[in-house]
Structure 1
């Protein structure tokens, strides 16, 4: 077994730990819940083409991520733990890192740079945290990056097969979250590539690239076309126009931030923030790279993506994912310098950078120990074993980082960042916050609403404007009493299970023709101590 093969096996292990080690930690947010509910209704009700969410049409988001989630849900069961629904997203993260390796190897023919980029990507905290959530962003950007790779492969090999694959990945990206993936990943790459590698290839391939793009749009258009052919009434109604108006209003009015909102994005790379900032200065980075064209490509690509993000009014930190996909390429093309440089050859700026990596690694270790001994040790659930585990776990890598050559400082600091992210999230997100909530709010030993989903309740449920969290935790659709269907109380059954936070008095004001015959109280969510009632009511 040669050295390169061993290093690749270790790298694969690091990727698996990074992308799967945290998927069970946090509870699903509302974006994931909507995806899960729609996926479940695909499985239970067969709504694969005309997607629904709690029985209502769901056209706000394209269906591909939900199709993938639903396929996985069908495989493992609709009552599987929440965290298992994130496995498809984590696999997409793995796919990106694999494509990243192939892309850099194709462009530079340098295995070490490719492997280093994968390592940096896997130890970038915001990247791993984002792909640990099953939202649409991961899918659209990974498919867009696949489009980049297959386009480049087609250009380099002049084979039609790869251009056909490009069309399919374009279609997949659009079917994941519209054109945003192409806007922030694919188009910036094309501009950067032809600026750096010359206009000759642009002249030669612009027609086929345009053709692949148009074919990709046609592939993406198969979904709305199928809806039109199957149910023209839905397509020709005002439902789609309402969805378009809603999405336009959302992007124009919600989360409006300054154009400088994303300037702090290097901080979210964690241990790599200072090397990344240094790399933005060509005077420092170019003497340290072994492939100036590749460095220039990645810098321009990253800059165009940054401008594209900043130009959009609605901004959220999770929208920075494309920047965390381009940053490992910049970093790998520069930090590879330290793999071939001895301590004696380092300049002052290099020593400062490596010392900063050591310092940040030590601070991270101290922070983890502080959390472990101050918050974890007093908790009766873990006892002393977890703090001791955290203490011992980091020591070999700290020694490796502090006593090693420049290469070991880079590798060691990345591993310490990974371990810090894992051990911190394992306790802080999963237990500490929940324990604090319990100590403040917990008064009664109520069951969790999600128990109903896990036991696959066969009861029918009703509510006024039910939230998607309630729908997900109940395990099935909740009939919405605020809809036109139930405005006529004669359409209501004689006995109903009402899911609501209302008091009995408030509920009976809404439904005066009923009486309450039983009440069951639940905690709304596994990580929340707010309560919700299920009233069994009967017509008087």
Structure 2
């Protein structure tokens, strides 16, 4: 079976990603960034706002619409409330990124199996998986840009200028239509710098013309939506653009060295990723020194360029994980090739420590049942038994193969370990629901039965709007202007009301607190409790 998987790497990458993420990812709660995407997709389907995109009825031009279009299309096919269907386009983009890593790797290595290792490291890295939930636009823009980079690679090295310039420009344009120029700066520019230093550019007039054609195609595909919105809603577009560009230098500002622990974002590959960055150690051990120079320089250049931007968030490191997967693959390939002959404890200890720790986690997982046993019943008990059996078995197998120094099977077992966690452990998160958890999913129907329209006094969490299932108009806008509705009786959600606003409402309405909706799965006294995820629900009757 292993030979079949290795013989068809692209199909294997696709099936591995879909299997890992397609079974249980709908158990995870919707994040704030996801909710924004899903709300906009819902309003595309229901209200027809496909070009002048909206969120909760208000203009939403902060992000280009391609990811939301794809989400909306899957929602139309499978149901706009089907969480797995809405997440499926992002899952497919993880697979596309994995295929892109394989194709780019094969270009520089001309080694099928080594390229396959690189792709598996990429698709099982922590933030590559996490970005599907935390910031769905990112995986789209970087996946499309990676395919563009593959075709640029072909353009630089072959004479098929027209074919590859059109393909490179098209995928670059799709990347721009997902998140603007972000991936150009974070992924493409570091690639171009690394490629120029390591391989050099052999440019003639025809090649320069082909590159120029790629740029024109990219700008046309990626820029037409911006032009359309600029023409049709210029005032709102310019205000949003000014706010977004201002955030780069004034919002979430972190020091230059904030990203220096970037290799930890690879999760299970943290130690191998760190060792692979140690050039003095790796230079005499890699199978292709020039390709290693390229992947190392691509990785480090991406980190430096991202560090120059004042605004920093951990998830912005996601594009770094792409060249770093290729770079880490050199160390994994070296271990697979040479570990059986290594006797130096300075070399073997990190290997035994890293993979031994993973094995021990798998062996220890069944003990978790003693702590969560009261919450395990019915289908949850099935998932726990499945997870325990899988992780214990994989952990034991890793230890056996470590003893035999068979790093290839250890490596594949780690891929299985990640898959087992995503498939069988994620459903257990359903046990982690605090007593204060009170979903808002039934409010829309209840208010409709009572003949009430529901408003929010100010902004409520996007997750709450998504779960509500419809728009929740705001009574108080960003400029603190209050617009009271015409209805004599209506529902109102509010997270907080100032004394001045309370006096205004009391002067006009009889106010009754009905309940509190709380989407937190953690207790109120917990550090994980998010005060943004609750709202009091009132019914107001005009005096």
> Aligned pair 1:249/2:246, yes or no?
yes
Distance 1:161 1:282 in 2: 37
The alpha-carbon distance between structure 1 residues 520 and 401, as it changes in their structure 2 partners (threshold 3 A), is same
Distance 2:269 2:331 in 1: 12
The residue aligned with 1:99 is 100
The one-character-per-residue Cα deviations of 1:8-28 (angstroms, maximum 9, x if unpaired) are: 466554322333355223312
Distance 2:519 2:323 in 1: 37
Output aligned runs, 1:101-500, within 5 Å: 101-133=102-134, 135-159=136-160, 160-201=162-203, 205-229=207-231, 231=232, 234-235=233-234, 237=235, 239-341=236-338, 343-345=340-342, 347-366=344-363, 368-370=365-367, 372-381=368-377, 387-404=384-401, 405-420=406-421, 425-427=426-428, 429-432=429-432, 434=433, 437-438=434-435, 441=436, 448-452=439-443, 460-467=453-460, 468-483=462-477, 492-500=486-494
Q: CA deviation at 1:336?
A: 1.4
The one-character-per-residue Cα deviations of 1:88-125 (angstroms, maximum 9, x if unpaired) are: 11111111111222222233221101211122123222
TM-score (normalizing by structure 1)? 0.86
The alpha-carbon distance between structure 1 residues 456 and 116, as it changes in their structure 2 partners (threshold 3 A), is farther
Cα contact 1:86–1:133 (8 A) shared by 2: no
Q: What SS does the corresponding residue of 1:261 show, helix, strand or coil?
A: helix
Q: CA deviation at 1:269?
A: 1.6
Q: CA deviation at 1:80?
A: 2.8
The alpha-carbon distance between structure 1 residues 203 and 309, as it changes in their structure 2 partners (threshold 3 A), is farther
Distance 1:80 1:329 in 2: 35
Which region of structure 1 is more displaced relative to structure 2, 167-176 or 418-427? 418-427
Cα contact 1:62–1:175 (8 A) shared by 2: yes
Q: CA deviation at 1:189?
A: 0.9
TM-score (normalizing by structure 2)? 0.86
The alpha-carbon distance between structure 1 residues 423 and 128, as it changes in their structure 2 partners (threshold 3 A), is same
Q: CA deviation at 1:469?
A: 3.2
**Runs of 5+ in structure 1 lacking a partner?**
none
Q: C-alpha root-mean-square deviation of aligned residues, in Å?
A: 3.2
Cα contact 2:375–2:431 (8 A) shared by 1: no
Distance 2:384 2:321 in 1: 31
The alpha-carbon distance between structure 1 residues 217 and 531, as it changes in their structure 2 partners (threshold 3 A), is closer
The alpha-carbon distance between structure 1 residues 430 and 267, as it changes in their structure 2 partners (threshold 3 A), is farther
Cα contact 2:383–2:427 (8 A) shared by 1: no
The alpha-carbon distance between structure 1 residues 303 and 380, as it changes in their structure 2 partners (threshold 3 A), is closer
